[in-house]
Amino acid sequence: MQQPRVVTSVAAAPDAAGAVPLVRASGVTLQYKTPDHLVTATYRVSFDIFPAERYVILGPSGCGKSTILKAIAGFIKPVEGQFLLKNKPVTGPGPDRLMVFQEFDQLLPWKTVLGNVMFPMIENRIPRADAERRAREAISMVNLVDFTDVYPHMLSGGMKQRCAIARAMAMKPDVLMMDEPYAALDALTRRKMQDELLQLWNDIRFTLVFVTHSIEEAVILGSRILVLSPHPGQVRAELNSPGFAYDTRSGAAFQELVHKISHMLFGDRAGTN
């Protein structure tokens, strides 16, 4: 197995030779102003995300991961630095950056898979016929055709995830974002959802920005991992993850990478979660 390589500069991303990043964070400082506090969530964070990457933002609780996603989504403006989307400054929210929430019970229980996938398009005033065509395409892409007319309560967790992703994909976003979607799941279900997500990524090759505080999850899911320091989040490192198939996750290379990141984050107090 190839040794993971530490990437210390944003220019060294795997497929970067001249390519325009989908998302570029350049020197981004994010803050919250409350009546009596100024909270700095991230400090001068820079990274590039390229098409079809599984880009994982990893760091301990409170280091600003969710804040970064909210800023990519355009809900929070940096006080320093900026986010670029395909070279254009992010100025507000848009359907080109979509968040896929877990609690896949986000699906409307009274609508079928087709109805759920069409819903955001209808809300965005896309003509019904177009919305249906795009919804059916997306449903086929995630392999749910046989369940097109089924209601969410008939779907497994994995199928709900696929439905939620189809719903986002039908909007043709540039990036899909997920914020600790599996944090509340038991270990077995979590593993299943991770495998499903990887399988789906393998089929569709969308650009994924995935936030987690679990080192193992980052190593399992990421093609690249941005390691953030504890509060306020600063970039500790950017690592390539070689991708670990199910049966290599207990192997030496996997453990070594988990350990290395653990050490980066916690030094001698290293734990893996």
Single out the residue of 32, 75, 101, 246 in contact with ligand ADP (rule: CB under 6 A).
32
Q: Is 167 in the site for ligand ADP (CB under 6 A)?
A: no
Binding-site partner at residue 152 among Mg ion, ligand ADP, none, CB < 5 to 8 Å by type:
none
Residue 23 beta carbon to Mg ion: minimum distance, rounded to whole angstroms: 18
CA dist., res. 145 & res. 125, Å (int): 24
Residue 230 beta carbon to ligand ADP: minimum distance, rounded to whole angstroms: 9
CB-based closest residue to Mg ion: 66
CB count within 10 Å of CB 52 equals: 14
Residue with smaller CB distance to ligand ADP, 36 or 149: 36
Q: Is 58 in the site for ligand ADP (CB under 6 A)?
A: no
Both tokens of 268, joined, read: 């001698």
Q: Is 87 in the site for ligand ADP (CB under 6 A)?
A: no
Residue 31 beta carbon to ligand ADP: minimum distance, rounded to whole angstroms: 8
DSSP per-residue letters across 207-268: -EEEEES-HHHHHHH-SEEEEEPSSSB-EEEEEE-----GGGTTSHHHHHHHHHHHHHHHGG
Q: How do 6-7 and 54-58 pair as beta strands?
A: unpaired
Q: Which helix (H) or strand (E) holds 178?
A: strand 175-179
User: Which DSSP category does 185 fall into?
Assistant: S
Contact footprint for Mg ion (CB under 5 A): 66
Binding-site partner at residue 176 among ligand ADP, Mg ion, none, CB < 5 to 8 Å by type:
none
Binding stretches for ligand ADP (CB under 6 A): 32, 34, 39, 41, 59, 61-67, 231
